[in-house]
C-alpha cells in the first residue's frame, strides 16, 4: 500500500514545527500580557452541542463520528433502509377502506373544478390507483394524502396526460419515499452518530462556560490554542484540519473589550513582523438595520451570508445569490451603495448613520462602531490599519455586535488570517441567559503561509542536545550514561549515540545535527575517571573530570 494522508491534512517537519511553535508562543505571550488564561476542551463534542450553531453552510462542514464498536452491524443498516421502503408500501388495513371512501367523496364533491366529466376518475380508476399505492402512518393525515393526490391529478389533466395511473403512481411513490426519509433522517443520523469533531473553539467554549459557571470568575478571559476540523474543499490556506488560536471575554458588555482586541491583533502582528495588516470591522446591528430598511428582515441570514462573499465571488454573483434566496430586486437596488463604500472611516460611518436613520437597531450599531473607531484612533496602533467594512458579515449566526476580520498585507494572496466578533447570547443556547461575550481568533496556518511567502521567519534553532557522547561499546556506553544522567539532572541536553559505530559516522551525525560538543570515552578515560571534551566549532579538545565537565557545559 502506498502511504498517504487524507486531503486537507499535513505532516510537519521539525523545522515547520519549530516555526509554528514560534508563532504560537508569540500569540500566547500576547494573550497572557493582555490578561487571558488558558483552557482546553475535547477534540470532539456531542453532535447536539455543535449542530445548528453555525448556519446551514457551517453544519454541512461538521465532521460526524460514527458510533464505535460493532454498532453498525447491530443496527443492521441494510435491513434498516429496506424495511423503511417496505413500510411505505405497507398499509394499515383498518383505515384503508375509510381512506378510499374519503378520497372518492372528496373528488366527487370537487367535480366542478374540472368541468370535464370524461377526464374524471371513475370509481374503478380510483380503486386501481389506491390499491397500487399504500400509504403508511408517516403521512400527517388523510387530508394531506388526498391533497397530494389531488394536486398531481390536476397537473396530469393540465398536461393532457392520458395515463393517469402511471403518472400518479410514479410521482406519489417518489414523493412518499423522499418524505419518509426526510422525516426519519434525523432519527437515523442520531442512531449512527452521536458525536462530532469540533468545528471551532467558540461554541465548545460557550459550553465550557455554562458547565463550569460556578468555578469561573466573571468577566472570564480565556485563550485556547487547539486544532479544529471542517469538511471543506481543500485549497491554498484552507485545510480540513487546522489550528485556531482564540481569545474571548465573557461576562462583560463593555465596548472597551472590542478596543483591546484590536490592540491585541496589532500587538501580535507587529511582533511577527507583519506590518500593514488590515483589521476590518463591522457591526451585526448595522447589517440587521440594513435588512430592515430594505424590507428583508426575514432574510437576514441569507442576506448576510451572501454579502460576506463579496470579496470572493464579486458583486454580480452576490446579487444572484440574494435573488435565489428570495431577496427582491428592489431590495438589492437599495443596498447598491454598500458595494462602493470607499471613503474614510468617519465618512463611511456618517453615510451609514444617514442610511439607517429610521432603524433603531442600525443606529445603535453605528454608535457602537463609532466609539470603537474613535477610541482606537486616539490611542493609536503600532503597525496595523483599522478599516470599516460594511460588507463584512462573517456568516455565523451567533454574532450580535462587532465583527472583526484581518487581511494579510497587500500583495499577499490569502484569505483572512484572523476574525471574530461579539455574541450576546451564545451561552443562552445551553441554558445560561444574558451573558455577553466577545472574542477573536488567529488563523495559525494562514499566518504561517504569509510569513513564509514574505520570508519573515527568523532562523529557528531546532531542539538538539548540547553534547553528544560517542559510543565505543557496552562498557564505554555505561560509563557515559552515568555522566549523562548527572548532566540531564542539571538541565543540560545530553545524548548518547545509540550504536557502537565507527568514529566517522558518529562525528558526521554530530555535525549534521549541529551539536556543539562531543564527549569521547575510551578505556583510558574510564581508567583515569575523566572525559575527553571536544568543541565541534573550534576543534579544541580537553580532558576533564565529571564536575569540570558539568561546569564547562552548564
Q: Which of 110, 115, 458, 83 is nearest to 272 (CA)?
A: 458
Q: Which of 433, 541, 35, 391 is nearest to 209 (CA)?
A: 433
Q: Determine the longest span between alpha carbons in the chain, in angstroms.
A: 120
Q: Are residues 528 and 474 part of one domain?
A: yes
497 occurs within a structural domain: yes
**pTM, full prediction:** 0.72
Q: Are residues 182 and 98 part of one domain?
A: yes
Other beta carbons within 10 angstroms of residue 439's beta carbon come to: 25
181 occurs within a structural domain: yes
Per-residue pLDDT reduced to its tens digit, 280-320:
999 999 988 888 888 777 777 777 777 777 777 877 888 88
Residue length of the chain: 554
Checking if the pLDDT of 402 tops 60, the result is yes
**Poorest-confidence range of 195-199, 353-357, 375-379, 501-505?**
353-357
Q: Are residues 183 and 104 part of one domain?
A: yes
> What DSSP line would sit under 327-347, residue for residue?
--HHHHHHTGGGGG--S-HHH
In angstroms, the CA 249 to CA 223 distance is: 9
Stretch (H or E) spanning 55: helix 55-60
Checking if the pLDDT of 158 tops 80, the result is no
Residue pair 109/101 in contact (Cβ under 8 Å)? The answer is no
Segment 524-549 mean pLDDT: 95
243 occurs within a structural domain: yes
pLDDT grade for 82, boundaries at 50, 70 and 90: very low
pLDDT for the residue 409: 92
pLDDT for the residue 135: 44
Residue pair 365/283 in contact (Cβ under 8 Å)? The answer is yes
Checking if the pLDDT of 37 tops 90, the result is yes
Checking if the pLDDT of 340 tops 90, the result is no
Q: Are residues 547 and 444 part of one domain?
A: no
Beta strand residue intervals within 172-240, DSSP E: 195-197, 220-229
Segment 522-540 mean pLDDT: 95
Half-sphere exposure for 362 (CA within 13 Å, toward CB):
21
In angstroms, the CA 27 to CA 209 distance is: 23
In angstroms, the CA 306 to CA 301 distance is: 9
pLDDT for the residue 191: 63
Q: Are residues 246 and 138 part of one domain?
A: no
Per-residue pLDDT reduced to its tens digit, 58-69:
888 999 888 776
pLDDT for the residue 507: 96
- Domain harbouring 406, CATH code: 3.30.930.10
356 occurs within a structural domain: no
271 in helix, strand or coil?
helix
Segment 19-24 mean pLDDT: 94
222 occurs within a structural domain: yes
Boundary (domain end) residue, out of 192, 209, 243 = 192
Checking if the pLDDT of 279 tops 90, the result is yes
Q: Are residues 82 and 176 part of one domain?
A: yes
pLDDT for the residue 470: 97
Three cell numbers at 226?
487547539
464 in helix, strand or coil?
coil
In angstroms, the CA 291 to CA 365 distance is: 13
pLDDT for the residue 236: 74
Checking if the pLDDT of 460 tops 80, the result is no
Per-residue pLDDT reduced to its tens digit, 358-371:
899 999 999 999 99
Segment 379-383 mean pLDDT: 96
> What DSSP line would sit under 401-451, residue for residue?
SEEEEEEPPTT-----SEEEEEESSGGGGGT--S--EEEEEEEHHHHHHHH
Q: Are residues 208 and 185 part of one domain?
A: no
pLDDT for the residue 265: 97
User: Which residues lie closer than 8 Å to 442 by C-beta, 6 or more apart?
Assistant: 27, 244, 245, 246, 268, 417, 418
Checking if the pLDDT of 473 tops 90, the result is yes
Segment 317-332 mean pLDDT: 81
Segment 380-394 mean pLDDT: 90
341 occurs within a structural domain: no
Segment 346-367 mean pLDDT: 91
223 occurs within a structural domain: yes
Q: Are residues 521 and 497 part of one domain?
A: yes
Per-residue pLDDT reduced to its tens digit, 425-436:
778 878 888 888
pLDDT grade for 136, boundaries at 50, 70 and 90: very low
Stretch (H or E) spanning 533: strand 531-535
In angstroms, the CA 431 to CA 339 distance is: 39
Checking if the pLDDT of 156 tops 80, the result is no
As a whole number, the mean pLDDT across the chain is: 81
Q: Which of 136, 170, 134 is nearest to 152 (CA)?
A: 170
Boundary (domain end) residue, out of 153, 168, 192 = 192
342 occurs within a structural domain: no
Segment 241-260 mean pLDDT: 95
Checking if the pLDDT of 146 tops 80, the result is no
312 in helix, strand or coil?
helix
In degrees rounded to 5, what are phi and psi of residue 498? -70, -25
Containing structural domain, residue 24: 14-56+197-290+378-453
Q: Are residues 278 and 383 part of one domain?
A: yes
Checking if the pLDDT of 522 tops 80, the result is yes
Residue pair 242/228 in contact (Cβ under 8 Å)? The answer is yes
Beta strand residue intervals within 444-489, DSSP E: 467-469
Q: What percent of the chain has pLDDT over 70?
A: 77
In degrees rounded to 5, what are phi and psi of residue 129? -65, -45
Boundary (domain end) residue, out of 142, 176, 192 = 192
Q: Are residues 396 and 435 part of one domain?
A: yes
- Domain harbouring 477, CATH code: 3.40.50.800
Q: Are residues 277 and 392 part of one domain?
A: yes
Per-residue DSSP letter, 531: E
Stretch (H or E) spanning 385: strand 385-388
In angstroms, the CA 137 to CA 398 distance is: 38
Q: Which residues pair with 387 in a beta bridge?
A: 280
| Count of structural domains, the chain | 3
Residue pair 305/371 in contact (Cβ under 8 Å)? The answer is no
Sheet holding 437-443, edge to edge: 37-38, 220-229, 241-250, 437-443, 418-423, 402-407, 278-283, 385-388
In angstroms, the CA 201 to CA 426 distance is: 13
Q: Are residues 474 and 502 part of one domain?
A: yes
495 in helix, strand or coil?
strand
pLDDT grade for 250, boundaries at 50, 70 and 90: very high
Amino acid at each position: 500500500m502506498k502511504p498517504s494522508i487524507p486531503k486537507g491534512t499535513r505532516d510537519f517537519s521539525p523545522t515547520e514545527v519549530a516555526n509554528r511553535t514560534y508563532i504560537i508562543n508569540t500569540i500566547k505571550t500576547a494573550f497572557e500580557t493582555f490578561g487571558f488564561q488558558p483552557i482546553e476542551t475535547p477534540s470532539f463534542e456531542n453532535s447536539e452541542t455543535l449542530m445548528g450553531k453555525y448556519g446551514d453552510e457551517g453544519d454541512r462542514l461538521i465532521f460526524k463520528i460514527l458510533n464505535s464498536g460493532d454498532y453498525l452491524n447491530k443496527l443492521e443498516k441494510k435491513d434498516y433502509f429496506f424495511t423503511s421502503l417496505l413500510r411505505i408500501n405497507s398499509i394499515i388495513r383498518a383505515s384503508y377502506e375509510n381512506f378510499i371512501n374519503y378520497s372518492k367523496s372528496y373528488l366527487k364533491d370537487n367535480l366542478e373544478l374540472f368541468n370535464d366529466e370524461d377526464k374524471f376518475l371513475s370509481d374503478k380508476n380510483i380503486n386501481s390507483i389506491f390499491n397500487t399505492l399504500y400509504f403508511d402512518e408517516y403521512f400527517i393525515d388523510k387530508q394531506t394524502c388526498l391533497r397530494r393526490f389531488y394536486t398531481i391529478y390536476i397537473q396530469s389533466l393540465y398536461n393532457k396526460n392520458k395515463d393517469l395511473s402511471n403518472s400518479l403512481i410514479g410521482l406519489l411513490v417518489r414523493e412518499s419515499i423522499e418524505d419518509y426519509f426526510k422525516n426519519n433522517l434525523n432519527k437515523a443520523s442520531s442512531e449512527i452518530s452521536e458525536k462530532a469533531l469540533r468545528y471551532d473553539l467558540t461554541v465548545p467554549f460557550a459550553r465550557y462556560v455554562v458547565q463550569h459557571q460556578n468555578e469561573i470568575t466573571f468577566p472570564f478571559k480565556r485563550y485556547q490554542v487547539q486544532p479544529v476540523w471542517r469538511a471543506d474543499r481543500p485549497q491554498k490556506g484552507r485545510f480540513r484540519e487546522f489550528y485556531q488560536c482564540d481569545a474571548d471575554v465573557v461576562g462583560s458588555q463593555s465596548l472597551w473589550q472590542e478596543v483591546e482586541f484590536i490592540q491585541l491583533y496589532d500587538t501580535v502582528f507587529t511582533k511577527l513582523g507583519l506590518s500593514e495588516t488590515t483589521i476590518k470591522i463591522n457591526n451585526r446591528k448595522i447589517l440587521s438595520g440594513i435588512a430592515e430598511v430594505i424590507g428583508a428582515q426575514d432574510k437576514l441570514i441569507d442576506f448576510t451570508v451572501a454579502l460576506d462573499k463579496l470579496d470572493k465571488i464579486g458583486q454580480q454573483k452576490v446579487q444572484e445569490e440574494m435573488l435565489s434566496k428570495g431577496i427582491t430586486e428592489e431590495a438589492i437596488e437599495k443596498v447598491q451603495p454598500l458595494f462602493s463604500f470607499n471613503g474614510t472611516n468617519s465618512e463611511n460611518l456618517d453615510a451609514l448613520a444617514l442610511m439607517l436613520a429610521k432603524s433603531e437597531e442600525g443606529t445603535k450599531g453605528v454608535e457602537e462602531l463609532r466609539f470603537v473607531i474613535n477610541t482606537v484612533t486616539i490611542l493609536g496602533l503600532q503597525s496595523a490599519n483599522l478599516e470599516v467594512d460594511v460588507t463584512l458579515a462573517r456568516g455565523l449566526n451567533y454574532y450580535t455586535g462587532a465583527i472583526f476580520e484581518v487581511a494579510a498585507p497587500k500583495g499577499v494572496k490569502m484569505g483572512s488570517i484572523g476574525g471574530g466578533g461579539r455574541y450576546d447570547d451564545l451561552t443562552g443556547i445551553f441554558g445560561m441567559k444574558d451573558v455577553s461575550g466577545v472574542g477573536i481568533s488567529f488563523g495559525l496556518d494562514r499566518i504561517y503561509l504569509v510569513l513564509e511567502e514574505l520570508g519573515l521567519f527568523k532562523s529557528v534553532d531546532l531542539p538538539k542536545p548540547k553534547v553528544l557522547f560517542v559510543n565505543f561499546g557496552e562498557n564505554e556506553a555505561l560509563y557515559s550514561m552515568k555522566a549523562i544522567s548527572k548532566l540531564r539532572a542539571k538541565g543540560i541536553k545530553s545524548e548518547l549515540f545509540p550504536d557502537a559505530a565507527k568514529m566517522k559516522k558518529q562525528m558526521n551525525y554530530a555535525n549534521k545535527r549541529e551539536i556543539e560538543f562531543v564527549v569521547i570515552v575510551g578505556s583510558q578515560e574510564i581508567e583515569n575517571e575523566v572525559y575527553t571534551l571536544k568543541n565541534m566549532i573550534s576543534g579544541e579538545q580537553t580532558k576533564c573530570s565529571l564536575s569540570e565537565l558539568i561546569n564547562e557545559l552548564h
